Structure 1
């Protein structure tokens, strides 16, 4: 896929914060619902934030693969963090850079008081683009 990332002059360099300002790509949009640190039954796998983030990224990769896509097809993510602070941002940044390097999707990170289920500390949704002409 041809994905174009733009971090314009006049705006700060966002890569250290785990995102790109502008990402564009031709093709069909695919929307991935909020994934969280769950197993196949929907149960939260860990009380630990880092464990939940790790499982969330694994679940995102599973969802993308089911759509015939991969992380490089993701153009935007939304991240939701219970009790957001610098230590949690560092955990998230580690996974973002391990997954996308410096070619990061656009991202909005929102600190929240709680999420849908008891014990959930992190959730991530995504928008991917299926390259034109690929089913």
Structure 2
């Protein structure tokens, strides 16, 4: 991912203002929730749901032969403004593992009234770019 140093700096968390994918196929990941493989939410804790959601994104990326380094943007949906601190904490706990360089993709954050499952507190979708064949 290429980022521009002269782009506006993020004001509300750890993310890049923009990202530009290198040539290759675009891969769109639908919104992932913090549920396990059986569709159960092992916890109602917001921080843990955020971390589980990133884990599920990792599984989806791996299925496409990609990793988090291929992600050029996230769109995050949180149920209620009270989820923002849990999201920030969960992301700060997870990002050093998935982005050891400290360079994060852009993220758009939306506050919504609910998700497809009542127990879901967060949903994150991603846009990634598959590297061009050499």
Does the alignment reach a TM-score above 0.5?
yes
Asked if 2 retains the 8 angstrom alpha-carbon contact of 1:15 and 1:104, the reply is no
CA offset at residue 45 of structure 1?
Answer: 2.0
CA offset at residue 35 of structure 1?
Answer: 0.5
Instruction: Determine the structure 2 residue equivalent to 1:20.
Output: 16
Asked if 2 retains the 8 angstrom alpha-carbon contact of 1:27 and 1:131, the reply is yes
Pair 1:71-2:64 in alignment: no
SS of the counterpart of 1:61? helix
SS of the counterpart of 1:69? coil
CA offset at residue 59 of structure 1?
Answer: 0.6
Summarize the alignment of residues 23-102 of structure 1 with structure 2, pairs less than 5 Å apart.
Answer: 23-25=19-21, 26-85=23-82, 86-95=84-93, 97-98=95-96, 99-100=98-99, 101-102=101-102
Instruction: Determine the structure 1 residue equivalent to 2:110.
Output: 110
Q: Which stretches in structure 2 are left out of the alignment for 5+ residues?
A: none
SS of the counterpart of 1:34? strand
CA RMSD of aligned residues (A): 1.9
Asked if 2 retains the 8 angstrom alpha-carbon contact of 1:6 and 1:20, the reply is no
Work out the number of aligned pairs and report it.
130
Asked if 2 retains the 8 angstrom alpha-carbon contact of 1:18 and 1:96, the reply is no
Instruction: Determine the structure 2 residue equivalent to 1:6.
Output: 4
Asked if 1 retains the 8 angstrom alpha-carbon contact of 2:50 and 2:87, the reply is no
Q: Which stretches in structure 1 are left out of the alignment for 5+ residues?
A: none
Instruction: Determine the structure 1 residue equivalent to 2:130.
Output: 130
**Segments of 4+ in structure 1 off by > 3 A?**
none
